[in-house]
Amino acid sequence: MLHELDLTLTSLLKSELPGRDQIAISFDTPDDAFSVVPPAVDLFLYDIRENLELRSNDDYFESRDDLKVVRIRAPVRMDASYLITAWPGTRGGRGDSSEDEHKLLSAVMWTLLRHPKLPRKYLKGSLAGQHLPVPVSTLQPGRLQSLGELWQALGRKPKAALNYTVTMPVDVEDAEEHRLVIDREFRVHVDSQAAR
């Protein structure tokens, strides 16, 4: 399912990001071995956990045309948190320009802030078949204790980054199909021995 989320985010950025034709989208760890042909945007998935605030034990039912009803258990809601960085490329052989980096990161921020939920037209795989929306939070505090420590652990100098969290539904049980009750039948049995 995470690869479907990656495909969804790629579709969104490749469709709406200004200058999208020249920008590569990456999901690699931006460590000291990170190599991408710039300009590029990297979405590093650094945390996955259940969203306990949205936990539900409710079931819902869906009627079908064939006189059957399907019981669907509420999906588990998972938060997938990304650290998004911009890699604009070189300018005059000096490496990444902070001005170009900020322009690219601003374009990504503008694109993502426009959508409080992932638009259905970009949803891929099992995300496309979900009944629930896929909300996002952009520029909210992340789950990282220290961004500086993360960059140090990755072997890089600190870099401007956006935090982006997607709350996606994950079906953990198959739907159960049942016959719809449309008739009532009552049978009365009188015991002849008891009537005497």
> The domain that contains 111 carries what CATH number?
3.30.2000
Query: Is 0.85 topped by the overall pTM?
Result: no
Residue 124, Cβ density class (10 Å: 0-12 exposed, 13-18 middle, ≥19 buried): middle
- 3-state DSSP percent of the chain in helix, strand and coil, to 5: 30, 30, 45
149 in a structural domain: yes
Cβ neighbours, 10 Å, residue 65: 5
pLDDT computed for residue 71 by the predictor: 74
Amino acid letter for position 8: T
Question: Could you check whether the bond before residue 30 is cis, i.e. omega within 30 degrees of 0?
Answer: no
188 in a structural domain: no
102 in a structural domain: yes
Which residues constitute the domain of residue 106? 2-54+76-168
177 in a structural domain: no
Which residue from 127, 134, 143 is spatially nearest to 46, judged by alpha carbons?
Answer: 143
16 in a structural domain: yes
Give me the number of domains the chain comprises: 1
Q: Read off the pLDDT of residues 76-129 as tens digits, 9 standing for 90 and up.
A: 899 999 999 999 876 554 555 889 999 999 999 999 999 999 999 999 999 998
Which residue from 109, 52, 47, 51 is spatially nearest to 82, judged by alpha carbons?
Answer: 47
Tokens of 168: 């996606």
Q: Which DSSP category does 42 fall into?
A: E
- Show pLDDT as tens, one digit a residue, over the chain (196 residues): 899 999 999 999 999 998 888 899 999 998 888 888 889 999 999 999 999 988 877 777 777 677 777 777 788 899 999 999 999 876 554 555 889 999 999 999 999 999 999 999 999 999 998 888 999 998 887 777 777 778 888 888 888 899 999 999 988 766 666 666 667 777 887 777 765 5
Amino acid letter for position 136: V
List, in order, residues 6 or more apart from 29 with CB less than 8 Å away.
44, 154
